[in-house]
Amino acid sequence: MNSADQQYLALVRDVLENGYYDNNRTGIPTKKLFGRSFQFDLQQEFPILTTKQVFFKTALKELFWIYVYQSNDVRKLHEMGVTVWDEWAREDHTIGKAYGYQVRKHRQIDKLIEGLIHNPQGRRHIISLWDLADLEEMALQPCAFMTMWDVSDGYLNCTLVQRSADLGLGVPFNFTQYAVLVHMIAHVTGLKPGKFVHYLNNAHIYENHFEPIKQQLERTPFPAPTLWINPEVKDFYQFTPDDIRLIGYQHHPKIEMEVAV
């Protein structure tokens, strides 16, 4: 069993069996556990679930929207055929001062890359999307809101901090997306992808996802795929979604779940 499925299935089983059951802002009750994490060695495997289809290109394009294009305009997503943010789009077609807006506002990718190259042992390599001054102007305050970066012996390590972790829909996208981001940043800084830790503060399953996830628990995982990055790309902002591919991604069919808004 690959590590991504192994860790994910163990956590969702734990939440279903031992989670605290209560309501939340969406009106759809959840079972939750506090303070869980996944740990991946990106030298050993690329983390993506195989017990259901994760739409890799959709996840990748959302990642590009935030960190490469640094956009908060859902029309940019529409140009790429992605509609996952439509429920939160405002009349001006944006999600307010959230996600890509925060990356662009503070030049966070540029500062991260510069810091990793010129001061690799610095302990302040952080990207934060949680800007207190702008929270009220965000259509949705960021769930996966901070990454902390480390360089050890030529390897780039990263911790992703997620305040609210929707295990059914969001989390499978999140750890796959940020594993890609680690590969991308490592590629343009001359480092090797290392350890990736994904911390989940509130790891929850929505009540209307209980049965679909039980179906997933009955499936046998496939081996993990490998990630290919175009070796010709040297500048982070020159990446396109076509420069990143999965090789050998075997998976079970998709599982339908409704998003809680």
Q: Which two tokens stand for residue 170?
A: 């969001």
Distance CA(71)–CA(104), nearest Å, equals 8
Distance CA(66)–CA(57), nearest Å, equals 14
Q: Are 59 and 174 in contact (CB under 8 A)?
A: no
Distance CA(177)–CA(137), nearest Å, equals 25
The residue among 61, 57, 7 whose CA lies nearest residue 246 is 57
Residue stretches of the annotated binding site: 25, 123-124, 163-166, 174, 204-206, 260
User: Domain coordinates of the chain in residue numbers?
Assistant: 3-247
158 catalytic, yes or no? no
Task: Let me know how long the chain is.
Answer: 261
Rounded to an integer, the average pLDDT of 200-206 is 98
Q: What is the structure's pLDDT at 6?
A: 98
Give residue 162's pLDDT band: very low, low, confident or very high (50, 70, 90).
very high
Q: Are 166 and 220 in contact (CB under 8 A)?
A: no
Distance CA(202)–CA(162), nearest Å, equals 8
Distance CA(203)–CA(136), nearest Å, equals 24
Q: Which helix (H) or strand (E) holds 197?
A: strand 192-206
Distance CA(131)–CA(129), nearest Å, equals 6
Share of the chain above pLDDT 90, in %: 97
Give residue 260's pLDDT band: very low, low, confident or very high (50, 70, 90).
confident
Q: Are 229 and 183 in contact (CB under 8 A)?
A: yes
Q: Residue 69: which residues within 8 A CB-CB, separation 6 or more?
A: 76, 100
Q: Are 56 and 246 in contact (CB under 8 A)?
A: yes
Rounded to an integer, the average pLDDT of 72-76 is 97
pLDDT 10s digits, 207-228: 999 999 999 999 999 999 999 9
pLDDT 10s digits, 230-242: 999 999 999 999 9
Q: Pick the catalytic residue: 15, 89, 112, 143?
A: 143
Beta bridge partners of 125: none
pLDDT 10s digits, 8-39: 999 999 999 999 999 999 899 999 999 999 99
Homologous superfamily, domain 3-247: Thymidylate synthase/dCMP hydroxymethylase domain (3.30.572.10)
Share of the chain above pLDDT 70, in %: 99
Q: What is the structure's pLDDT at 33?
A: 98
| DSSP code, position 140 | S
pLDDT 10s digits, 168-199: 999 999 999 999 999 999 999 999 999 999 99
The overall average pLDDT reported for the chain is 97
Residue stretches of the annotated binding site for dUMP: 25, 123-124, 163-166, 174, 204-206
Question: Which single residue is written with the structure tokens 């994910």?
Answer: 8
Give residue 1's pLDDT band: very low, low, confident or very high (50, 70, 90).
low
Beta bridge partners of 138: 96
